[in-house]
Chains A and B, each alone.
Chain A
Amino acid sequence: DAMVIQNPRYQVTQFGKPVTLSCSQTLNHNVMYWYQQKSSQAPKLLFHYYDKDFNNEADTPDNFQSRRPNTSFCFLDIRSPGLGDAAMYLCATSRDQGILIYGYTFGSGTRLTVV
C-alpha cells in the first residue's frame, strides 16, 4: 500500500550528539512536512518542502535542518539535540499546497528521547 514511512519508530540519542530522522513516501506527493509534537501538545510545523523548495517556519530553531534528496525521501537533522528536543516527530505529505480538499497523510512518527 502507498504510504508514509518513518524510521526509526523510536530513537534514543545523547545530549549534543547529531541525529537524523528519516521519512519516505510512495504516494508521489510533492509536499513533505516535518512536525514536532511534545507530550500532550498540538503538532508544531518545523518546515516543509514544496518539491525542492525549502520553507522554514520563522520560529524553528537553527538546530533543526532538513534535506530532501528526491521526491520520495526527506530527512530531519538535529545538529545538537537538547533535552527540550525530546518529542514525537511527525512526517506528513500532501499532494499540493493549494488544493484544500487534500489533507495530509502522516507517517507513524519517530519518538525521540534525549539522554
Chain B
Amino acid sequence: AQKITQTQPGMFVQEKEAVTLDCTYDTSDPSYGLFWYKQPSSGEMIFLIYQGSYDQQNATEGRYSLNFQKARKSANLVISASQLGDSAMYFCAMRDENDGGTSYGKLTFGQGTILTVHP
C-alpha cells in the first residue's frame, strides 16, 4: 500500500520569498509518479508539477520545482518568489502502477499543507 505524508499543517512565507513544502512517500512499487496540486479556497484542484520515479532530473515548472530525493523517499515542492495568489492548500500525491491490484493507478493524497503568503 502506498502512503503520502505531509508533516506541515500550515506554512507562512513573506511575499517574494521562497518556501519549501515537505512531502515523503512510501511505496514498494519501483515505478511511480509524484504530483503536486494546489487547491485554492474555491475548491478546484490545480495541477502544478510532476516527477516520475525514473526521471534523472528534478522537475521544474516556472516558479515551481520539485526536490526529488529518491533514496530518502521525499518529494518536496519549492515555490520561488512567492506571490499573494499562492495562498492555498497544497497536496502532494502519488500514483503507482499497481496498488495491490485493486485500484491500480489510484492517485493517493497527503493531508495537505495550508500556505499563507504575507505581504
Query: Chain A: residues with CB nearer than 8 A to chain B?
Result: 31, 33, 40-43, 45, 48, 55, 57-58, 88, 90, 92, 94, 96-98, 100-101, 103-109, 111
Knowing that A43-B109, A48-B103, A90-B45 touch, tell me 12 more A-B residue pairs with CB under 8 angstroms. A41-B112, A42-B111, A48-B106, A57-B103, A90-B43, A94-B105, A98-B97, A100-B31, A100-B52, A103-B35, A103-B95, A106-B45
Q: B35 contacts which chain A residues (CB < 8 A)?
A: 103
**In the complex the two chains form, what is the Cα distance from A108 to B42 in whole Å?**
8
Most central of A55, A103, A106 by chain B CB within 10 Å = A103
**In the complex the two chains form, what is the Cα distance from A40 to B91 in whole Å?**
11
Q: Which listed residue (A42, A96, A101) contacts B110, Cβ 8 A?
A: A42
B104-A98 in contact (CB<8A): yes
What secondary structure prevails in chain A residues at the interface with B?
Answer: loop
**In the complex the two chains form, what is the Cα distance from A47 to B84 in whole Å?**
35
**In the complex the two chains form, what is the Cα distance from A40 to B6 in whole Å?**
13
Q: B61 contacts which chain A residues (CB < 8 A)?
A: none
Q: B53 contacts which chain A residues (CB < 8 A)?
A: 100
Cβ proximity bits B17-37 to A, threshold 8 Å, 1 near / 0 not:
000000000000001110101
User: Which residue of the partner chain B has the closest CB to A111?
Assistant: B43
18 contacts between A and B (CB under 8 A): A40-B112, A41-B112, A43-B91, A55-B102, A58-B102, A90-B43, A90-B45, A92-B45, A98-B104, A100-B32, A101-B33, A103-B33, A104-B47, A106-B44, A107-B44, A108-B43, A108-B44, A109-B45
Asked if B107 CB lies within 8 Å of chain A CBs, one says yes
* Shortest distance from the beta carbon of A79 to any chain B beta carbon, whole Å: 22
B47-A103 in contact (CB<8A): yes
Q: A48 contacts which chain B residues (CB < 8 A)?
A: 103, 106
**In the complex the two chains form, what is the Cα distance from A94 to B95 in whole Å?**
12
**In the complex the two chains form, what is the Cα distance from A48 to B95 in whole Å?**
14
Most central of B33, B43, B44, B106 by chain A CB within 10 Å = B43
